[in-house]
Structure 1
């Protein structure tokens, strides 16, 4: 077996391992979103998603306020929390827009 073949095999094995780890992580995340999702069976994850986005926003606001008051010197952590909250909100808006677009398409269907 040549060195390049061996390197390719090792690289492929490492990549497969990383892909398996990602698949396990995604499956765990999906399962955690399904546990305790709320009382609305029609949209089981949406209420939970709204709560998570709101929680992130409130946590980021609290961290920024603590930095502004001088109670904390973790400006980087506060900025990261703020960006995470902003990204979560943007993702939520994109999901909402996709759902609204899908509903519009369903309404336009001729039966």
Structure 2
């Protein structure tokens, strides 16, 4: 058995042990955001950042497509990949928005 296989098996055993301890309740599974290097931000900031990222993807895609259309670039595959990436990001954002609106409607329908 090679060293890579041994290391892989040991890693798998460690992961199984961790999951076993989690199932027993010996290990807490709620991470501390400070340990992950994540700073606490508001939901509004998070949504603004995600919308800005989707917008940046769409702008980059449009620029690549324009460069291909005008003959400045021959990277048709890169332009199409960027276009698909931007489209998927936009679709995901719309689905998230729809779920949020649906959840808000359900909360508003709850009796007080």
TM surpasses 0.5: yes
Q: Please tell me whether residue 54 in structure 1 is matched to residue 55 in structure 2.
A: yes
**What is the aligned residue count?**
88
What residue is the counterpart of 1:90 in the other structure?
91
Q: Residues 28-52 of structure 1, C-alpha deviation per residue, up to 9 Å, x if partnerless?
A: 7xx3xx68x7xxx452211111111
Larger radius of gyration: 2
Q: Please tell me whether residue 13 in structure 1 is matched to residue 11 in structure 2.
A: yes
Change in Cα spacing, 1:104 to 1:12, as seen in structure 2 (3 Å) is farther
TM-score, scaled relative to structure 2: 0.66
RMSD (Å), alpha carbons:
2.8
Secondary structure of 1:43 counterpart: helix
- Structure 2 unaligned segments of length 5 or more: list them: 16-35
- Structure 1 unaligned segments of length 5 or more: list them: 17-26
What residue is the counterpart of 1:24 in the other structure?
none
Where has structure 1 moved over 2 Å in runs of 4 or more? 9-16
CA distance in 1, matches of 2:50, 2:81: 20
CA distance in 2, matches of 1:48, 1:108: 30
1:10 shift after superposition: 3.8
Larger helix fraction of residues: 1
Structure-to-structure mapping, 1:63-78, within 5 angstroms = 63-78=64-79
1:11 shift after superposition: 4.9
